[in-house]
Amino acid sequence: MKIKWWGHSCFLLTSKEGTTVLTDPYDAGFPYEEVDDNVDIVTVSHDHHDHNAVDRISGSPRVIKDIKGLQQGNINIKGIKSYHDGSRGEKKGENIIFIFEFPEFKIGHLGDLGHDLEEEQLEALKDLDILLIPVGGYFTIDAEQAYNIVKKIKPAITIPMHYNTKILNLPISNINAFTSLIAPEKIVITGKSEIEINLISDTQLIYIMDYVGKENTT
């Protein structure tokens, strides 16, 4: 399994058979690089411009933007209804949590989750190997909420997303707000925008990834 972080909430997930899934592509108003991967499937957690820019993706990928999900080959995608805010969507609307069941790993992408998870949602996420979770606050859950969710789900690997980086200027926290809550020995600084994961251990780790093109901004 390969995971590439383009930035924000946009990841490319590549199965060992080569099937590619892209999550939450952002529009041209964001400072991250434009996605240039060949993509089979695109998921959209909600219709905001920094998560739904499907028109920027080349080719003719299958687009999943509802909780019906998709079964394609040996990949199963499930959607879970959630909300973009703590008022059941009254302020910012709904959000879809996607679960990707690959042959090798089960991955959860929480989109722009804006509230603590309910028991039914936690139950659906309990067997995750890898969790992609927003941590920046303001538009989503904040660092402390994210930390508490990670403690409940207990994925082997957690990859934080949707936080301020050196090239992004939003009213959200940077990664330090989240990592300050984590024991240092649990944090893995990958130094890469793309990683390959072959084995999952029982040790629960936090992987901090670089976004694509970071080496050109430092």
- Kindly report, residue by residue over 159-192, the tens digit of the pLDDT: 999 999 999 999 999 999 999 999 999 999 999 9
Identify the structural domains of the chain with CATH numbers, from first to last. 2-216 (3.60.15.10)
Q: What is the pTM of this model?
A: 0.96
Q: Which residues contact 43 (CB under 8 A, 6 or more apart)?
A: 21, 22, 23, 24, 63, 64, 65, 77, 96, 98, 109
Its sign, for the CA torsion 140, 146, 149, 155, is positive
- Kindly report, residue by residue over 55-93, the tens digit of the pLDDT: 999 999 999 999 999 998 889 999 999 999 888 878 888
Predicted confidence at residue 34, as pLDDT, reads 96
